[in-house]
Chains A and B, each alone.
Chain A
Amino acid sequence: MLSVALTKGRLEKQTVKLLEQSSYGIEALKDKGRALVFPDSKKDISYFLVKANDCVTYVEHGVADVGVVGKDTLLESNDQYYEVMDLGIGKCRFILASLPENNVLKKQGHIKIGTKYPTVTKRYFKQKGLDVEIIKIDGSVELAPILGLCDAIVDIMETGTTLKENGLVVFDTVCEISARVIVNKASFRLKRNEIQELLNDLKNAIKETDYD
């Protein structure tokens, strides 16, 4: 049996849709009630819904064989899994943004960056060869440069509306994000055929979506 951890929320609907297109028995997932684990009515698979960070943890520890989770979460984790597929759903990007007059890439002197994603931020500025101080913020990151807590922010942007409303502009794209399939290292070996079948089905479902 294959156990699959799905990320709750934004990605959930799109992932379930892909599974549905592959004719998996996901009725239970669509009509959730209070259940936590959802058996597939056609395949030997059970699904469970967890928060993005937990999805990675469940897969790393082998409690889930396969997980579907955003690249943003993976970039902040420590890589104890295989990232085998890009589902091409849940697309957005990490951006560097600030007030129009605050282009930190051109600033001389000390730079402070506010972000929920310190690992991504650190890696990005290291690539740029810039020394920055990172300030971890948990919510409403857009507020930080306005109030002067930091010079700029690294955050996820979907449509850009929030940024615009707060008068912030994008200076650079840090990286593109989409949902990925991750696999536990031991499961990849011991359940290779089942996993490959699931991946192939998902791959076909993505192709169909592209034609639409």
Chain B
Amino acid sequence: MVEFTTPPGTRDLIRQECVDKRFLEQHFRNIFTRWGYEEVMTPMLEYYQTFSIANMKEKEVYKILDASNRIVTLRGDMTIPISRVVATKFKDSPLPLRFQYCANVFKVKERLSGNQNESTDCGVELYGVDAPIGDLEILVCALDALSLLEGCQYTLEIGNRNFFHNACTALSLEKSAVEKLADFINRKSLKELQDYVDELAISEKHKHFFKQLPWLCGDLSTIAEARSIAFDESLHAILDELESLCDQLKELGYEQQISIDLSKLPRMEYYTGIIFDAYAEGIGDSILSGGRYDQLTQRFGKNISAIGFAIRLDALATLLHHTPSQKTITLSYPTSMQSEALKQAHKLRETTVVKLLADDTIKQIQIKEEA
């Protein structure tokens, strides 16, 4: 028997599911357009090299051989292709550049984990505006987009990948140790973290730093809490920057919507500064994520500072339901009167949705409004 199903991690969307998703897409597009972001569309297929140079995990990438035996991939995210576009096609353009997209991205995930391999990202990338100016702008833009969630409990959580990495550098930890620590902290696997840190040849003070790090998340008072374990100037400098960023967000009235996570580590290797994620009640993973990536375009040949974020439309669509206000009518007609029916329907379509229905049990055209 032939089975006609979709591959694992992919799905069909029908009816209300499409309505919900398109509504969200349109909503975010409008917001981003008003912030001055122009749309960019890149091919679904890219050369593998484009993603490998950005250090996307090899096993997460869909790989296909093209006719000339080069490895082609289904794009795994949009930040990498857009950075490629900016570093090549816009290398001599005046900055800043603002680009938005809404596109499907592909990642190979564990089978049957309930995660999607194809998902839709809707986001923006801002090129040529350094920290902290660009950071604040992009965070406010993200908060603007999230205002749609009013009524749900949500939070935009801000961290900086350097808080952890500078600490590791200051202690000259080996690469393998850094990777291990990052993995434990990322998973907040506290027992393993504790055991591992105890074995490291670093002072008690520094051990304390790594053990406390996973708990450095919560409201804005977290920054003050972090001061007590920050052991060198570069860490304090990061906290200073974060503090002033949060003060500005507070002044703009976003205190309730933001929180801090200093143990936050990036999903992608290319991030270089602040990173952030939004979480909403009822959705197990982040609904928006982003950060600063000042060295990515360099790998494509041109050095431009950059920051951006993407919203995960599929996750959000399960949370918000949209009821279209458009009126729908059914116009029934006997087959002999089809031309007349088409004419009438054409007129009615100026204001409503018209569905046609051939019905030979009736003699005249009938119009019925749908509930």
Mark A residues whose CB is within 8 Å of B: 57, 60-62, 78-86, 180, 183-186, 188-190, 192
Contact = CB atoms under 8 A, between A and B. Distances in A.
Nearest to A183: B188
Interface in B303-343: none
A60 B114 contact: yes
Contact of B284 (A78, A80, A83, A85): A80
16 contacts: A57-B114, A60-B113, A60-B114, A61-B114, A61-B284, A80-B113, A83-B188, A83-B190, A84-B190, A84-B214, A186-B280, A186-B283, A186-B284, A190-B153, A190-B154, A192-B218
Given A84-B190, A186-B282, A190-B281, 4 more contacts: A189-B157, A189-B217, A189-B259, A189-B261
B39 interface: no
A190 B259 CA distance: 10
Given A189-B157, A192-B217, A184 B190 contact: no
Contact of B188 (A60, A62, A78, A84): A84
A83 B193 CA distance: 10
Given A60-B114, A80-B113, A80-B284, A190 B188 contact: no
A90 B155 CA distance: 36
A62 B282 contact: yes
A45 B212 CA distance: 27
Nearest to A193: B218
Instruction: Count chain B CB atoms within 10 A of each CB in A62, A85, A189, A192 and give the residue with the most.
Output: A189
Given A80-B113, A189-B259, A85 B279 contact: no
A80 B285 contact: yes
B187 interface: yes
A46 to B, nearest CB: 16
Contacts of B261: 189
B190 A185 contact: no
A78 B6 CA distance: 23
B214 to A, nearest CB: 8
Contacts of A62: 282-284
Contacts of A183: 188
Contacts of A60: 113-114, 284
Contact of B155 (A81, A185, A189): A189
Interface string B94-105: 000000000000
Contact of A185 (B115, B154, B191, B286): B286
A81 B157 CA distance: 17
Interface of B: 110, 113-115, 153-155, 157, 187-192, 214, 217-218, 259, 261, 279-286
Nearest to B157: A189
B260 to A, nearest CB: 10
A62 B115 CA distance: 13
A74 to B, nearest CB: 9
B198 to A, nearest CB: 14
A184 B114 contact: no
B188 A184 contact: no
Contacts of A190: 153-155, 279-281
Top 5 A-B residue pairs of the complex, sorted by shortest distance between their CB atoms: A62-B284, A82-B188, A86-B191, A186-B279, A83-B189
A64 B218 CA distance: 20
Contacts of A61: 114, 284
A139 B52 CA distance: 42
A167 to B, nearest CB: 34
Nearest to B109: A78
A54 to B, nearest CB: 12
Given A83-B188, A83-B191, A185 B284 contact: yes
Contacts of B155: 189-190
A185 B285 contact: yes
A85 B114 contact: no
B289 to A, nearest CB: 12
A186 B285 CA distance: 6
B246 to A, nearest CB: 16
